[in-house]
Structure 1
Amino acid sequence: MHGVVIVVCETCRQPGDPTAEPRPGAALCASAEAAASGSGFTVRRVSCLSNCKRGLSAAIVSDAAWTYVFGDLKPDSGPDLLRGAELLAGSVDGLMPFRPRPETLKRGMIARIPNMQTLLSSPAKDMS
């Protein structure tokens, strides 16, 4: 509906956490799914985002905006991820505004990745 998807690593754990199941990432998935229920936003579970040193990890992905990757999340950070998705969906420039973000999304930002539309519309730099 919104073109924004919340992607959560269900196998995630923080460094030093036991490897036993269920992993804390599964709890983060459940928290995000509960927060997004009825909102029109989709939560997708993935098996690894390769951000193990800063787990728990999630990303907010859009077909028309930048992708945001977050780490250092808590098992109950689902509502914060939903708020980030709402902010990105409402953005006019494809960027998630910083000030209204929940603190977890301010402190836990790992990367911001442009979408293909942005990359293809940007002039190429000659590297020779």
Structure 2
Amino acid sequence: MTDPNAPRPTVSVCRSCRGSNPDLPPEQRPGVVLSQGLCAVEPGDVAVQVVDCLGNCNRGPSVALQCAGRWQYLFGEIDPVTGPADLLAAARLLAVSTDGLLPWRERPPALKKGLIARLPPLQSP
């Protein structure tokens, strides 16, 4: 159960990720399948943003997790079928994190690997 006072996390998913098979038609690309899976869930407590490119083509499908006051994460090699559930669970964990980090031990198994970058929270001007 999520904390109603926690900030709303955002999952940004790259729809152009082709994965290891560049010959797939656009509608079968792993990035498209992953983005469609996330959008189909329509989570009210997690924002889903579909983007054209996250610049991580060699390790796609790629996803960024962001939440106000929290560290930001970029993951690659996300399974397009099981990824939506794992990403939403991770986004919810990040939202309620007391130290602003996504705890490794509590992450869904798919997100214990594939970490590309972890960026500090943006500071208010």
Specify if TM > 0.5.
yes
**Is 2:65 the counterpart of 1:60?**
yes
Alignment-derived partner of residue 84 in structure 2: 78
Query: Which stretches in structure 1 are left out of the alignment for 5+ residues?
Result: 121-128
TM-score by length of 1: 0.83
Q: Does 1:102 align with 2:102?
A: no
- AA matched with 1:43: V
Amino acid at match of 2:51: V
SS class of match (2:105): coil
Shift of 1:34: 3.0
Sort the Cα spacing of 1:10 and 1:114 in 2 relative to 1 into closer, same or farther, 3 A.
Answer: same
Partner of 1:116: 122
Give the structure 1 partner of residue 40 of structure 2: 34
Name which of 9, 20, 30 aligns with 1:24.
30
Q: How far, CA to CA, are the matches of 1:5 and 1:111 in structure 2? A: 16
User: Percent of counterpart pairs with the same letter?
Assistant: 40
Larger radius of gyration: 1
Stretches (4+) displaced over 3 A: none
What are the ranges of 5 or more consecutive residues in structure 2 without an aligned counterpart?
1-5
- Report the RMSD for the aligned CA atoms in angstroms: 1.9
Q: TM-score, length-normalised on structure 2? A: 0.85
Q: How many residues align?
A: 118
